[in-house]
Amino acid sequence: LWDVLESCDINGASDASIRNPVPNDMNVILSRAPIRGIFTTGTKAGALYRRLCLPLCGREAVTLPSTSPANCAVSLEQLCARYAVIRQTAESNNWKLGRK
């Protein structure tokens, strides 16, 4: 797990208030670990990743719904269904969490 942003100016936890975003250098981890998939949680993280990280690392990410309690539009069942893509990605690469 790694944040899209290394730093930013933000008021509280409001994604809408993010200013001066500095992306994490995803190549640091992508060059050293067998990363099979990249997933972002929430619309803002997905947008920031596409705008700031994708051009630097060239690896697409799947944007998943936010798990924040403020995201009442998505039920637990819907979250589970959408997050199943992580398991599918791991299994399709003959890779299990915690071991190869």
Contact 61, 40 (CB under 8 A): yes
The residue type of 24 is N
Q: Could you tell me which residues come within 8 angstroms of residue 77 by beta carbon, excluding any fewer than 6 positions away?
A: none
pLDDT bucket at 96, cuts 50 / 70 / 90: low
* pLDDT tens string 2-53: 899 999 999 988 888 999 999 999 999 999 998 989 999 999 999 999 999 9
Maximum Cα–Cα distance across the chain = 42
**Closest to 65 measured CA to CA, from 90, 88, 89, 39:** 39
Q: Is the pLDDT of residue 99 over 80?
A: no
